[in-house]
Chain A
Amino acid sequence: MTAKPLLQVRDVTKLYAAGKGCANVSFDLYPGEVLGIVGESGSGKSTLLSCLSARLAPDQGSIHYVNAEGEQLDLYGLSESRQRLLQRTEWGIVHQHARDGLRMGVSGGANIGERLMATGERHYGDLRATAERWMADVELDIDRIDDKPTTYSGGMQQRLQIARNLVTHPRLVFMDEPAGGLDVSVQARLLDLLRRLVTELGLAVVIVTHDLAVARLLAQRLIVMRRGQVVETGLTDQVLDDPQHAYTQLLVSSVLTP
């Protein structure tokens, strides 16, 4: 692991109204690190994620990203075409609702191949082989490669979305509630899969979730947000086992244990 942070976030603020959005968020993300952002609904988690992934310009603050060539880039100083290039090569964005991240009108194979085609891959046979490999990697049945995602179950759509993002071997993946809305057994499989892929590919991940179990399983470090403010940060085990802030204590104690 290099000592240089992949993502440097300083005082990022994006407020829609007082207390709505996120304010003064700062952190560093290192290569291969999984950072969880937890908090209740409306605490600004998704807003922050949009800012980080160059989809929503913050009102204040700066975000610097170190690309594969080692250049330090000011995210919002980049042209829109460079931002998009980052988004489809070095980054992945996994949406909460697979429908937002997939092209529902075209087959699963085409969904996986889209990023490759966008970055200049023009060999059908290679695209096809890559799609099949990724279908297998995310435990999708290869026979479904030519079926549209509309015919997939929710869990399959989510796995397809993950494959579609990882196909360009990104260095940094943003995930917004990747297991939200799935039933518990499907969730568990998906999380297992994610954990395996993250370790195998050495991905850095920023994962937004309100589910502390997901955070515990995947994240090494946690940021706890409430009303747009960061109230607590630290190692996951430390935050969850010994919460300091009253809100974190509430959050941890409200987890149901069967």
Chain B
Amino acid sequence: MSADNIRAGYNFAYLDEQTKRMIRRALLKAVAIPGYQVPFGGREMPMPYGWGTGGMQVTAAIIGADDCLKVIDQGADDTTNAVSIRAFFRDLTGVATTERTEEASLIQTRHRIPEKALKEDQILVYQVPIPEPLRFIEPSEVETRKMHELEDYGVMHIKLYEDIAQFGHIATSYAYPVRVNGRYVMDPSPIPKFDNPKMHQSPALQLFGAGREKRIYAIPPYTDVRSLDFEDHPFEVQRWEASCAICGSRDSFLDEVIMDDKGGHEFICSDTDYCRTRMAEQGEIA
């Protein structure tokens, strides 16, 4: 790999080659068993847990000199987490970076999937805080691994049952549990459930890294990903009455923005690249 344009004294992509190989082995296993959480020897990264150390290690293990990297945080390219992770990899790999979804070969994301459909030659890397979907029902790790082994997933529906009993509908709106390839129940990281359908039969490879809990899991391209639900309360994504205040989109995920201290608010696209592309198409930005 090229050592040009890398900060002196560092290996390409920060991690040493043996660590990258170890992570790649975990990734291969994860791809071979879709949705299964593979333990790996997570390293300390030069940032706190919870800021994306798992996603960064996965990115560091697979990034090559020819890659083009995009980093998003809640869909935006210009938020702190995205800016600093992008700068980190630019500094330590010298790879090209982009904000445009279709140009990127590798996208690291926190809590969103880009609106623009991904392609076969793209890889999406998720930052995952809590990889275990059963955690809130069953605190014991020993027991949850046993439950995965035995496909003992009845408890997953308890949470959904409780939602309906309390709120009249399934109120879980993010980290909505899915079943991957008809086998493992998986936490898709805290993406909004709006994004869940995008994981199903996606042409792109999807990798998940949890740094604090030291787990890697994956969804290979063209894999079935089904959101759990009840027959009489089927899975539904969020809808808004408003449209994006900037680009007017009615079918993207919208963030609410407070405009003043008098209760004024607007909705805008959470995916900044999508919003900008639409504006360019409408000829309002050069």
* Contact (Cβ within 8 A) A146 B165: yes
Chain A contacts with B in 134-181, Cβ cutoff 8 A: 145-146
Does B162 belong to the interface (CB within 8 Å)?
A: yes
Main SS class of interface, A: helix
Does B135 belong to the interface (CB within 8 Å)?
A: no
* Contact (Cβ within 8 A) B152 A84: yes
> Of A84, A106, A124, A128, which is within 8 A of B150 by CB?
A84
* Contact (Cβ within 8 A) A107 B165: yes
With A146-B165, A146-B166 in contact, is A123–B158 under 8 Å at CB?
no
With A110-B161, A110-B165, A117-B161 in contact, is A122–B154 under 8 Å at CB?
no
A119 to B164, CA, bound (A): 20
* Contact (Cβ within 8 A) A118 B161: no
Does A125 belong to the interface (CB within 8 Å)?
A: yes
Digit string of B130-161 for contact with A (CB within 8 Å is 1, else 0)? 00000001000000001000111111011101
With A106-B162, A110-B165, A146-B166 in contact, is A123–B154 under 8 Å at CB?
no
Chain B residues near A105 (CB-CB < 8 A): 137
Sorting the interface of chain A by its residue count into under 10, 10 to 19, 20 to 34 or 35 or more gives 20 to 34
Chain B residues near A109 (CB-CB < 8 A): 161, 165
With A84-B150, A109-B165, A146-B166 in contact, is A114–B232 under 8 Å at CB?
no
With A106-B162, A146-B166 in contact, is A114–B230 under 8 Å at CB?
no
Does A80 belong to the interface (CB within 8 Å)?
A: yes
Chain B interface residues toward A at CB < 8 A: 137, 146, 150-155, 157-159, 161-162, 164-166, 229-233
Closest 6 A-B residue pairs measured CB to CB? Answer: A118-B154, A117-B157, A124-B230, A117-B154, A81-B150, A123-B231
**Contacts A/B (CB < 8 Å), 5 sampled:** A110-B162, A113-B158, A114-B155, A124-B161, A124-B230
